Amino acid sequence: MISTVDLCKDYGSVKALDNISFSVGRGRIMSIMGPSGSGKTTLINLIAGLDQSTSGRISIGGTDITDFDNDEKARFRLEHLGIIFQQFHLVDYLTALDNVMLAQYFHSMPDREDAMQSLKMVGLGDRADHLPGELSGGEKQRVAIARAITNDPELILADEPTGNLDEDNERMVMDIFKELKVEGKTIILVTHNHSLGEQCDEVIRLKHGRVDNHRIRELEMVK
């Protein structure tokens, strides 16, 4: 489903990512783990097309997105990706339902029913008309998940999706991811939470911008 080949990202003289190569198949949950500054968020930003790599290739669903321009990346995100951020990144003046429909607006046509369905899937059908300021952290993250899945993407990228959540909400979010996996979606999530990482099919550990370890549940690989 997704693969990277010798992916590098430099910020001036700082090598944030150094020759990252991996692949993950369809319908898998993969976690990217590592200490602060290891390049986890940088890697996921590159996969999402939110940033430009210095060198290397990224391929998603057989499409090489490395050389896409900003509009092409935006279109690709629309069609194939759903992104969940640690800080939720909801639009403050739009309700939960509006935030989900916003993703639909950019994709094609907003569909209130579909958006409500996405909210109900994450257990927030009764909070549709609430503003982000009126929601808890867990609820905001679930709205972000609903927004990410409403356009039925093949690949979901989540950067520290449970970073600001308590245990109960964390469990709730992982349950949702497992349901999405059953539907055939591929999920890559960045986390520093070991217990979360252990629940994933594959775990890549980064250290100083390099792959330190790539563990597949069926097969152990140590680099």
Partner 1 sequence: MLLNIVTKSIKSRRDLYFPMIMAVVITLSLIGAAEVVGDEFNRVIDREMSKYGINVILRLEEGEQATAGVPVQLKTASVNGEQKELAVTPVFSLMEINPAWIILGQSDYVVGQLVADELGIEQGDALTIDGALIQPSILKSGTRFDSYIFSNGTPQNASLALIRTDNPGMYEGRNAIILKEMVQTRYRFLGSIESLMLTIAMISVLASFATVINLARLDAGKRRKELGIFKSLGGSGSRILLLISSEYLILSLVSIIAGVAGTLLLSWAILQYVADYAPVIGLTTIFYISGVTFIAFGFAGLTYMIESHNHNVVHELRGV
Query: Given the rule CB under 8 A, which of 92-100, 175-183, 194-202, 208-216 is the region that contacts partner 1?
Result: 92-100
Would you count residue 78 as binding partner 1 (CB under 8 A)? Answer: yes
Figure out which of the listed residues 89, 181, 207, 210 binds partner 1, where binding follows CB under 8 A.
89
Candidates 58-66, 101-109, 171-179, 203-211; binding stretch for partner 1 (CB under 8 A): 101-109
Nearer to partner 1, 12 or 168 (CB): 12
The backbone region for 195, taken as left when phi is positive above 0, alpha when psi lies in -120 to 50, beta otherwise, is alpha
Q: Mapping DSSP to helix (H, G, I), strand (E, B) and coil, where does residue 63 land?
A: strand
Q: Which residue, 18 or 111, is less far from partner 1 as judged by CB? A: 111
Residue of 15, 57, 75, 171 that binds partner 1 (CB under 8 A):
75
Residues in 120-179 at the binding interface with partner 1, rule: CB under 8 A? 147
Query: Does residue 70 touch partner 1 according to CB under 8 A?
Result: yes
58: number of CA atoms within 13 Å, CB side?
Answer: 24
**What backbone torsions phi and psi does residue 210 show, to the nearest 5 degrees?**
-120, 160
Q: What is the nearest approach in angstroms of partner 1 to the Cβ of residue 215?
A: 28
- With respect to partner 1, which residue has the nearer C-beta, 66 or 213? 66
Cα 85 from chain centroid (whole Å): 7
Count of residues touching partner 1 (by CB under 8 A): 32
Residues facing 59 on adjacent strands: 3, 64
Q: Residue 198 contacts by C-beta under 8 Å, 6 or more apart in sequence?
A: none
Stretch touching partner 1 by CB under 8 A, among 16-24, 42-50, 184-192, 214-222: 42-50
Buried b (16+ CB within 10 A) or exposed e, 175-188: ebbeebbeeebbbb
When binding is defined by CB under 8 A, the residue of 92, 113, 126, 168 that contacts partner 1 is 92
- Which token pair is 66? 């490395």
SS3 for 118?
helix
* Residue 53: φ, ψ to 5°: -75, 160
Nearer to partner 1 by Cβ, of 55 and 87: the residue is: 87
Q: If binding is defined by CB under 8 A, does position 103 make contact with partner 1?
A: yes
What is the 3-state composition of the chain as percent helix, strand, coil, each rounded to the nearest 5? Answer: 35, 30, 35
- Which two tokens mark 216? 């597949």
Residue 73: CB minimum distance to partner 1, A: 9
- Is there binding between residue 50 and partner 1 (CB under 8 A)? yes
Binding site for partner 1 (CB under 8 A): 45, 48, 50-51, 70-71, 74-79, 81, 83, 85, 87, 89-94, 98, 101-107, 110, 147
